[in-house]
Structure 1
Amino acid sequence: MMTVDEVALLASELPEASEGERYGNRSWSVAGKAFAWERPFSKADLRRFGEAFAPDGPILAVRVLDLADKEAVLAENPHGFFTIPHFDGYPAVLVRLDLVTSTALREALLDGWLACAPRALADRYFKS
């Protein structure tokens, strides 16, 4: 089980990543673009779940490059990663921190960072 504090530690390892706040929740950005943020369910989200079980525990949203990448991430990680109707058509996935492995979380954060980082910064990251 991963925690939001562990997310913060992993995100801080990425070049020029900064922690902030988004809608009262912790978020992590690069070049002014959020690549990960805490994403508790809203009342509307919970209504959409209806009688279905809404995942419990801390939820993290993480950007992906595009919608094709989103589908690939969801297919590769069916137990810890998911989406909701609010994210339809938006390049981000949701992560259940209580189910995700540290390796999968680290990869997701890196992918999110790469989706938002300026190309020159990303190039320098891979050259180091």
Structure 2
Amino acid sequence: MPSWDDVVRIGCALPGVEESTSYRTPALKVRGKCLVRLRTEAEGGLMIVCPLEEKEALLASGDPAFYTTPHYDGYGSILVDLTKIRLDQLTELIEDAWRGKAPKTLVRRHDENSAL
């Protein structure tokens, strides 16, 4: 079962990502843009930004790791139950969030360095 420490380790391995806060809760940001936020609200979970189409597909998959609340209706983010998600799924979602928020030059540089 992944923890917030795993989220930080995964996220901070990506260029430009740093620990921060959002709505007074722990978060990861790239160049000031939120990627991931640990929710402390009653429903808990981890908020990860993603395109609406991806959110809809994750919810339609029936995987119990993914859910939403009315507050997030129409918003490009998915809520994740850390007790139910696999580490590989979490890693992919965090990297996808980073790719969507990081400056394109940073993503391109990362991809070029990874290809070496």
TM-score, normalised via structure 1 length: 0.81
* 1: CA distance, partners of 2:55 / 2:86: 18
Partner of 1:90: 75
Partner of 2:46: 60
Partner of 2:4: 4
* 2: CA distance, partners of 1:68 / 1:118: 21
Q: Deviations over 1:74-126 (max 9, x none)?
A: 33462211111100010000010011110000001011111111111111222
Partner of 2:90: 105
* 2: CA distance, partners of 1:22 / 1:121: 23
Please state if 1:21 is matched with 2:6.
no
Task: Give identity over the alignment, percent.
Answer: 32
**Amino acid in the other structure paired with 2:45:** I
* 2: CA distance, partners of 1:77 / 1:102: 18
* 1: CA distance, partners of 2:57 / 2:109: 26
* 2: CA distance, partners of 1:4 / 1:71: 24
Please state if 1:72 is matched with 2:89.
no
TM-score, normalised via structure 2 length: 0.89
List alignment gaps of at least 5 residues for structure 1: 43-53
* 2: CA distance, partners of 1:73 / 1:124: 29
Please state if 1:118 is matched with 2:103.
yes
Q: Say how many residue pairs are matched.
A: 113
* 1: CA distance, partners of 2:14 / 2:58: 20
List alignment gaps of at least 5 residues for structure 2: none
